[in-house]
Amino acid sequence: MEVRRQIEVSGIVQGVGFRPYVYRLATGRRLRGTIRNTSAGVTIEIQGPAETVQDFVERLAAEAPPLARITSLAIHELPCDDVPCNGDLDFRIVHSHEGEEVRTLISPDVAICQDCLREMFDPNDRRYRYPFINCTNCGPRFTIIRDIPYDRPSTSMAMFPMCPACLAEYENPLDRRFHAQPNACWECGPRVELWDKSGRRIECRDPIVEAVSGLHAGLVVAVKGLGGFHLAVDATNSAAVALLRARKRRVEKPFAVMVPDLRAAAEICELDDAAQTVLQSMQRPIVLLPKALLPKKSPPVLSDEVAPFNRYLGIFLPYTPLHYLLLAEGGFKALVMTSGNLSEEPIAIDNREAVSRLHGLADFFLVHNRDILLRCDDSVVRVAGGITRQLRRSRGFVPVPVFLKDDQPSVLAVGGELKNTICLTKGKHAFLSQHVGDLENVESYSFFHEAIEHLERILEIRPEIIAYDLHPDYFSTRWALQQSGVELVGVQHHHAHIASCMAENHLEGRVIGFALDGTGYGTDGNIWGGEALVAGYEDFERAAHFEYVPLPGGAAAIREPWRMAVSFLAHHFGREFLKLDIPFVRQLNQVKADLLLRMMEQGVNSPLTSSCGRLFDAVAALAGIRQEVNYEAQAAIELEMAMTSSDEDTAYPIKLVPGNGCWVISTRPLFEALLDDLGRNVPVAAISRRFHNGLVAGFVELATLLRKKTDLNRVCLSGGTFHNAYLSERLEARLSEAGFEVFAQKEVPSGDGGLSLGQAVVAAAMMRLRIVPA
């Protein structure tokens, strides 16, 4: 018996080879019908014997192409005539209806696929060693789109007319390159060139071979990638890595390294199954992995300069054809591949821009003439508790939306100040931008504008609401407040963190939220950062916070953790602490310390903070780990790294004190125990562990108290402090043991990179209830 069904498929199913895939699936089963793109995705009509149609439907999602992401399948029975309907005697790919709005989800940029890789290294293939080989399953997307619809003329491939051979592939539904917009070859496509440090083209037979000689000679080569330039050096050559550090003015912040394959990765990092999977995933993020413990006396593979003071290494596999060619040609074990910028500026994308902005940084430029239209940094993830968590969600993930539970109005959320991302919502989709960076510098600020303008265009979203952080001095906030013709909604920083976690986990109602980070503007004008909230999307109550201490010198206290150590000690013990016989006090510069104490006593430039990040700083400084930092959160990261694995289970005590309408988390007993340990020369590893354990125990106790008071059993964890793997894993485990339902962030960062998502959903909820202050 014949049946006819209509199947509506939503999700990322356009521009990813979905129609040819369905074509093959149908014709292979001798089924008749049609497929066409629609505003939501694709619509399939399929007719044939009932069993065969059923088999088709079952395989449809299961065997979809790698880049496709199906969010829903709706199946309707259609009347089935003996005469094939609409004259379908076979299966056809038909054009979209005239005038129909075709809104499609755009695919991110993804790594070269196995098929293309095989062809590229096959001397008999017509694309042998062609650095821009791609197909429907792989290659650039997001970073080459100027406008929609996603067709070649709206991409930076517009200037490369296809040769007859490429065009034939492009037009053949049975070909892997059917409608592959960046399709190209040696005949018709982009080319690589090598430039000298002043941007002059170097005449040579093979630019890749020449670039490799430069790397072997210990020089710095700027390499144009998918989302921007990298600065590359041989990671096994200490002099080369040191040269790059000096030129990039990057003192100690770890560099990421690209390795040719998993075997090379296993030589320098500890790889488990989860790590292998994410390293090889088509998004190819940088993965933070523990450095491999080497047998004593065996020489390290990598230069120690790559990631000093860090037990973890950021590592990734090649993802463009050019990367593979470079690594294979040079036989490198690992290349440092760091963003082509000065520290914290946006990554360079244009050839001429790269030559001017990277002047003095790179000795050579390996460029090409396929323009990158939108910069997109590498993504960074970490595997904790068996789950991959985003630390920086960018290339490979953007612009795949975060799929929400409920429909949202069109909101633009402009994020925070550091690690900025923006977020646009529409329907059940929240589109987070790529990593924009720290808005304090001019280049990032103009990238911020670019990202908003470009995303609004390619996603066709005109925001009705703009959500911003309450901090009056954030550049993003100031920008938002200048906009007109839209509703403007301010959202408290830590409320946004918790809402971001709720949205990602599809939660409704109210939750207990622990938002721990470095800095966020509080509703009382103080600097918050160690907050327990009872929150829903529409509002929150502050249920507890770390006790306030002065932040002596404001931003200077963030750069110099020793100031926070003095602040906490003076707060708890007064000037008496100066008599303590511990290394920190003995080494303290008495003049500077006295100045700092007077500053705090007189309340000059000493705003109050409940920051968890600053607590980490103080403990790190007291433990002798670091008195000043070179990059954000360095002291906290190194405090975490100071732990060695042991079964040490003691914890510094933390006390909960009833305060003004909410609990205050007192750190006094913590510091008493810590000073005691310091006086007894307890090793740093144990101090770090006791400190972490103390925080975990304190927050489990707090959750229990709040559960009694509110009857809430769901706990959301967010804020940059949860990038700390030990704290996240242990707190999640202990809360679960205590019977809580625990929700953390994985799809978006728990740090400020995920803030914009929370702002968007909070603003939408506030507008729905009209509880926005006029």
Q: Which of 25, 31, 53, 135 binds Zn ion (CB under 5 A)?
A: 135
Q: Find the part of the chain contacting Zn ion (CB under 5 A) among 136-144, 202-210, 250-258, 598-606.
A: 136-144
Give the 3-state secondary structure of 441-501. Answer: CHHHHHHHHHHHHHHHHHHCCCCCEEEEECCCCCHHHHHHHCCCCCEEEEECHHHHHHHHH
User: 67 or 244, CB closer to Zn ion?
Assistant: 67
Minimum distance, C-beta of residue 661 to Zn ion, in the bound complex (Å):
59
Q: Find the part of the chain contacting Zn ion (CB under 5 A) among 138-146, 227-235, 575-583, 667-675.
A: 138-146
Rounded distance between C-alpha atoms, residue 430 and residue 410, angstroms: 10
**If binding is defined by CB under 5 A, does position 226 make contact with Zn ion?**
no
Q: Which of 51, 58, 187, 676 binds Zn ion (CB under 5 A)?
A: 187
User: 132 or 468, CB closer to Zn ion?
Assistant: 132
**If binding is defined by CB under 5 A, does position 180 make contact with Zn ion?**
no
**If binding is defined by CB under 5 A, does position 185 make contact with Zn ion?**
yes
User: 177 or 571, CB closer to Zn ion?
Assistant: 177
Q: Find the part of the chain contacting Zn ion (CB under 5 A) among 129-137, 450-458, 468-476, 513-521.
A: 129-137
User: 169 or 560, CB closer to Zn ion?
Assistant: 169
Rounded distance between C-alpha atoms, residue 572 and residue 556, angstroms: 21
**If binding is defined by CB under 5 A, does position 597 make contact with Zn ion?**
no
Q: What token pair was written down for 450? A: 């670019």
Q: Which of 3, 73, 188, 488 binds Zn ion (CB under 5 A)?
A: 188
Using CB atoms within 10 Å of the CB of residue 55, give its burial: 0 to 12 exposed, 13 to 18 middle, 19+ buried.
middle
User: 66 or 659, CB closer to Zn ion?
Assistant: 66
Q: Which of 116, 461, 582, 765 binds Zn ion (CB under 5 A)?
A: 116
Residue whose C-alpha is closest to residue 435's, from 474, 380, 384: 380
Binding residues for Zn ion, rule CB under 5 A, total 10
Minimum distance, C-beta of residue 18 to Zn ion, in the bound complex (Å):
15
End-to-end CA distance of the chain: 65
- What is the x/- site pattern for Zn ion, positions 144-163, by CB under 5 A? -------------------x
Q: Which of 40, 60, 68, 113 binds Zn ion (CB under 5 A)?
A: 113
H helix or E strand, kind and range, residue 48: strand 41-49
**If binding is defined by CB under 5 A, does position 452 make contact with Zn ion?**
no
What are the strands, taking DSSP E only, across 373-452? 380-384, 387-392, 402-413, 423-432
User: 65 or 385, CB closer to Zn ion?
Assistant: 65
User: 166 or 491, CB closer to Zn ion?
Assistant: 166
Minimum distance, C-beta of residue 435 to Zn ion, in the bound complex (Å):
26
Using CB atoms within 10 Å of the CB of residue 449, give its burial: 0 to 12 exposed, 13 to 18 middle, 19+ buried.
exposed
User: 112 or 374, CB closer to Zn ion?
Assistant: 112
Minimum distance, C-beta of residue 125 to Zn ion, in the bound complex (Å):
12
551: left (phi over 0), alpha (psi -120 to 50) or beta: beta
| Interacting residues of 164 by C-beta distance below 8 A, sequence separation 6+ | none
Q: Find the part of the chain contacting Zn ion (CB under 5 A) among 132-140, 315-323, 612-620, 720-728.
A: 132-140
Minimum distance, C-beta of residue 133 to Zn ion, in the bound complex (Å):
7
> Which residues is 269 bridged to in the sheet?
291
> Which residues is 490 bridged to in the sheet?
468
Q: Find the part of the chain contacting Zn ion (CB under 5 A) among 134-142, 196-204, 218-226, 644-652.
A: 134-142
**If binding is defined by CB under 5 A, does position 354 make contact with Zn ion?**
no
Minimum distance, C-beta of residue 190 to Zn ion, in the bound complex (Å):
11
Rounded distance between C-alpha atoms, residue 343 and residue 208, angstroms: 27
User: 127 or 626, CB closer to Zn ion?
Assistant: 127
- CA 345 and chain centroid, separation: 17
User: 160 or 546, CB closer to Zn ion?
Assistant: 160
413: left (phi over 0), alpha (psi -120 to 50) or beta: beta
Q: In what order do the strands lie in the sheet containing 423-432? A: 423-432, 402-413, 465-469, 487-491
Q: What token pair was written down for 568? A: 């906490």
User: 112 or 702, CB closer to Zn ion?
Assistant: 112
Q: Find the part of the chain contacting Zn ion (CB under 5 A) among 181-189, 217-225, 664-672, 712-720.
A: 181-189
Count of other CB atoms within 10 angstroms of residue 278: 18
Minimum distance, C-beta of residue 182 to Zn ion, in the bound complex (Å):
10
SS3 512: strand
Residue recorded with tokens 């998993």: 262
Rounded distance between C-alpha atoms, residue 651 and residue 613, angstroms: 18
Q: What token pair was written down for 389? A: 């968590």
| Interacting residues of 281 by C-beta distance below 8 A, sequence separation 6+ | 396
Q: Find the part of the chain contacting Zn ion (CB under 5 A) among 16-24, 166-174, 291-299, 319-327.
A: 166-174
User: 137 or 444, CB closer to Zn ion?
Assistant: 137
- What is the x/- site pattern for Zn ion, positions 747-766, by CB under 5 A? --------------------
Dihedral of CA 512/619/665/673: which sign? positive
Q: Find the part of the chain contacting Zn ion (CB under 5 A) among 187-195, 196-204, 512-520, 527-535.
A: 187-195
H helix or E strand, kind and range, residue 19: helix 18-27
CB 141 within 8 A of CB 106: yes
Minimum distance, C-beta of residue 107 to Zn ion, in the bound complex (Å):
13
Q: What token pair was written down for 164? A: 């007859």
- CA 273 and chain centroid, separation: 21
Minimum distance, C-beta of residue 501 to Zn ion, in the bound complex (Å):
36
Q: What token pair was written down for 587? A: 């080494």
Instruction: Give the length of the chain.
Output: 774
**If binding is defined by CB under 5 A, does position 117 make contact with Zn ion?**
no
Q: Which of 35, 106, 110, 138 binds Zn ion (CB under 5 A)?
A: 138
Minimum distance, C-beta of residue 183 to Zn ion, in the bound complex (Å):
7
| Interacting residues of 621 by C-beta distance below 8 A, sequence separation 6+ | 561, 562, 564, 565, 584, 627, 635
Q: Find the part of the chain contacting Zn ion (CB under 5 A) among 36-44, 68-76, 177-185, 699-707.
A: 177-185
The residues in 690-709 that bind Zn ion, with binding defined as CB under 5 A, are none
CB 534 within 8 A of CB 540: yes
Q: What token pair was written down for 453? A: 């303008």
**If binding is defined by CB under 5 A, does position 166 make contact with Zn ion?**
yes
Q: Find the part of the chain contacting Zn ion (CB under 5 A) among 127-135, 346-354, 536-544, 687-695.
A: 127-135
User: Which residues of this protein are in contact with Zn ion, per CB under 5 A?
Assistant: 113, 116, 135, 137-138, 163, 166, 185, 187-188
